[in-house]
Structure 1
Amino acid sequence: MQIEKKELLTPNEVTFILIGIMLDVTATSLPNNVVGVAKQDGWISVLIGAIYPLYVVLIVVYVSGKFPKENILVISKRYMGKTFGTILNLLFLLSFFSFFPPLISTIEIIVRTEALPLLTPIKINTVLFFVGVYAASLGIKVLGRICSLTFWMVIVIIVPTISILNQGSLLNIGPIFGTGIVNILKGSLDSTYDYSLLELIFLIYPFINDSRKIKSSALKAVGFTAIIYTWITFITIYYMGKDIIPKTIWSFFTVTEAVQIEVVNNFRYIFVFFWMIIAIKSVAIFNYVCMFIVQDIKKIRRKKVIYVVIAIVVMVLAKTYYGDVLAMGEITKYTSTISVTYNLVYITLIASLIWLKRGGVK
């Protein structure tokens, strides 16, 4: 796998990209997902849910140590044969793609609800894909810089929510562990949807300019994301309580309405604006991943055509199956479980084959 020097990523850029793929606009509804089972202990469930990405880090450290210059798509065909390896890689593509339509639908609904109600879905989605595809076509290095920018945007919009501590109630988060360990663990499974797609690292680790830093870059990404997710869930429960959260769609949006900054009339507008840029970053990453895997399966000369096909398919699926928030929740409950399970089996299988055939491959 030949990689030009100008495409190499710094360890920090790898960290930012991994944060970018995990942390997207769906985080605003994370408290809704876990409170249904874990109640006031939902924030504990989110923290425990970080075990999944930590397992992914463990596997990637092992795989990258054996093949630092080859991504998992190449390794899959090396050990499984070209035909079966390609099939596994195609399923890996579909596992990523399954997250794409609900992401687009969520962004479109948020934009029309919170920012620009007069815009039609087709206009919103067209702009999203135009900007996202353009950013993705510029390459992984540019995506790294975009993710660096959105990382600081996340900091800017999360830090002010600390002020909510003066407005919530400790009664809303008590008693701690009151729902029981079984329900807390069940809630942690619901949070794996938000932690998923860290598997992107199996595609980009050959791009890092110092392979010794893969472990630290990935751990930083998981640590930061776990802290943000835990905080979002904690402060939402602390401010709203477990009974009110299920009555909202994006509960964390409600929390941002309570943030008061002297020089800012309405912090919610700033939050929505930055959140939209973070959303475009996610669209760009998904387009890049889809094209990256498609290119591995079959060399494509006219990439613009593939980008257009991807956009049309995603928008049609988003409109047909994910246009309604309730329907979206029901569908993603199953698709995310299948995708996360497949990715878990896929990376574990590849790591196991590397270990079993460590003497060499014929």
Structure 2
Amino acid sequence: MKKYAFNEITTWQYVFLIFASEIGIGVLPFPANVTRYAGTDSWISVILGWVLITAASLVIIQAMKRCPDGTLLDLLTNYWGKWAGGAGAIVVALYFAYFTYVVFSRTVIYVKAWLLPQTSELMLVALLMIPFWLIARSGVRVHGRFAGFVVLICCWMPLIFIDVLSDAEWLHLLPVLKEGWGPVLKGTPEMVFTFLGFEMTFVLYPFLQKKDRAALGVIAANTLALLVYLLLDLTSLVFYSPDEILQYNEPVISLLKVVEFPFIERFEIVFLAFYLLLISLTWIPFTYCSVYATSWMLGKPDHRPHLFVFLLLLVVSYIFYQPTFRDNDKMIGWMGKLGAGFAVVFPFLLWMLVAAADRYRKTSVH
């Protein structure tokens, strides 16, 4: 019997979990961040970032095929012993815990700045803890169903930006590669950070019902994220001037101020309310990955006690320290560097080490 038979997810749930985590925190500021390096050729950086993270995703799948009924931690244990699995559990727990804190604190900042400016940060944290606990305490199957529900009710959001194209100036995109490939390549690492979330495959893989579709699923998720990012990036480039876009921290939000409906006065508030559902699909699965690692390390099948401790520490941290927008930007900078190492460099290294270990075993047998 499969180890995770009672917690399996379908291919579409797998796709939606990865897709929603990829478009979580980075979707609002990324046009300005990438344009700062690549100029009006930033859309090429978006495509190159997609190529890089798709390659890393497929390498993760190839490595996980060596241990189809286990996570990354089981793979490390099977090949290099308990010490490797334990070390991997510590790294995975800290990595996803840090990402959860950064994304969650950004969520609190967004809610306070745009939706509830008169409410204290500690009160907002307490309010967010309720849905946080109700969803995160459940298994991956519930997370997958929640992801499908959120993507279904939020699928209209990218289409809203098509309305902005009526005021577009397409000449902003010309000439293509006006400064060569150098700026485009400099902007690609920024897109790698923006696409982060696909590394959850390390934990989600054994829960997938049809593992032969894992590669197809991760390509589909990455491509959906690519389409969203291309739409937002191209819309920002043709709406703003090349210099104007750099003046906004979150140009996507500023775009929404142009969208008008006769029955809604401030549409960006409605948009952000739905966006909170999408961004929750970043920090809730990341939290599960973190507490799953600590539970695995201690041999506890129930992750809920670890989740309770994690959420308690998160609330207590806000009593002593409430990060500002600038503080969170610095955290995101470190998050990008850590993510590039764990999500892009590590999969290739792991795949080579696993392939080398398999070859060594075959030669030693003969």
TM-score by length of 2: 0.90
Partners of 1:358 and 1:78 in 2: CA distance: 12
Q: For each residue in 1:25-50, what CA deviation from the matched residue of structure 2 results, as whole angstroms up to 9, or x when unmatched? A: 33101112111111111222122111
The 1:284–1:94 alpha-carbon spacing in structure 2 relative to 1, beyond 3 Å, is: same
Match status 1:311 vs 2:311:
yes
The aligned counterpart of 1:54 is 54
Separation (CA, whole Å) in 2 of partners of 1:44 and 1:315: 41
- Deviations for 1:269-307, whole angstroms, at most 9, x for unmatched residues? 321111112223323212211111111111347755422
Change (3 A) 1:345 1:43: closer
Deviates more, 1:351-360 or 1:123-132: 351-360
Secondary structure at 1:28 match in 2: coil
- Give 2:43's aligned residue: 43
Paired position in structure 2 for 1:352: 352
- Over 3 Å counting, the alpha-carbon distance change for 1:44 and 1:262 in structure 2 is farther
Look up the equivalent residue of 1:354 and give its one-letter code.
V
Do 1:98 and 1:336's aligned partners in 2 also have CA atoms closer than 8 Å? Answer: no
Q: 1:310 to 1:164 in 2, by over 3 A?
A: same
Q: CA deviation at 1:97?
A: 2.4
Structure 2 vs 1, CA of residues 241 and 94 (structure 1 numbering), >3 Å: closer, same or farther? farther
- Where does 1:157-168 land on structure 2 (aligned, <5 Å)? 157-168=157-168
In structure 2, relative to structure 1, the CA distance for the partners of 1:169 and 1:146 (3 Å cut) is same
Q: Which moved more, 1:177-186 or 1:59-68?
A: 59-68
Identity %: 17
- 1:258 is paired with a residue whose SS is coil
Match of 1:78 in 2: 78
Give the deviation of 1:74 after TM superposition.
0.3
1-structure distance, mates of 2:9, 2:172: 43
Q: Please give the per-residue CA displacement for 1:88-129, whole angstroms capped at 9, x wherever unaligned.
A: 332133222222222122111111111111111111122223
CA separation of 1:317 and 1:188: change in aligned 2, threshold 3 A? farther
| Secondary structure of the structure 1 residue equivalent to 2:323 | coil
Paired residue secondary structure (2:155): helix
Deviation by residue 1:180-236 (Cα, 9 ceiling, x = unmatched): 211111101111111123111121111111111111111100100111112112211
Aligned partners of 2:129, 2:290: CA distance in 1, in Å? 13
For structure 2, the residue ranges without an aligned partner over 5 or more in a row are none
Alignment match, 1:201: 201
Q: One-letter code of the match for 1:65?
A: K
Give me the whole-angstrom Cα distance separating, in 2, the residues matched to 1:189 and 1:317. Answer: 31
Indicate conservation of the 8 Å contact 2:97/2:287, yes or no: no
Corresponding residue of 1:292 = 292
Are the aligned partners of 2:11 and 2:208 in contact in 1 as well (CA < 8 Å)?
yes
1:108 aligns with 2:108: yes
**For residue 107 of structure 1, what is the amino acid of its counterpart?**
T
Q: For the residues of structure 1 that align with 2:350 and 2:152, how far apart are their CA atoms? A: 35
Offset at residue 258 of structure 1 (A) = 1.4
Q: Secondary structure at the match of 1:260?
A: coil
* Structure 2 Cα separation of the partners of residues 319 and 183 of structure 1: 42
- 1:30 alignment counterpart: 30
Counterpart secondary structure, 1:26: coil
Q: CA shift at 1:268, angstroms?
A: 1.7
User: How many residues are paired up?
Assistant: 362
Judged with a 3 Å threshold, the aligned counterparts in structure 2 of structure 1 residues 65 and 33 are, in CA distance, closer, same or farther, namely same
How much does 1:267 deviate?
Answer: 2.7
**Partner letter of residue 75 of structure 1?**
L
> What does the per-residue CA deviation read over 1:32-73, in whole Å, with 9 as the maximum and x for residues that have no partner?
211111111122212211123212222133123332212211
Task: Work out the CA distance in 1 between the residues paired with 2:123 and 2:53.
Answer: 35
Deviations 1:138-171 (A, max 9, x none): 2111110111122224421111211111012113
After TM superposition, the score normalised by the length of structure 1 is 0.91
User: What do residues 279-338 of structure 1 show as CA deviations (whole Å, max 9, x unaligned)?
Assistant: 233232122111111111113477554223322444566787772222322342234213
Q: Secondary structure at the match of 2:358?
A: coil
Find out whether 1:21 has 2:59 as its counterpart: no
The one-letter code of the counterpart of 1:49 is G
User: RMSD value over aligned CA atoms?
Assistant: 2.4
Does residue 251 of structure 2 align to residue 248 of structure 1? no
CA contact (8 A) 1:172 1:237 kept: yes
Separation in structure 2 between the aligned mates of residue 146 and residue 22 of structure 1, nearest angstrom = 16
CA distance in 1, matches of 2:37, 2:146: 36
Contact 1:105/1:319 (CA < 8 Å) preserved in 2?
no
Which deviates further from its counterpart, 128-137 or 1-10? 1-10
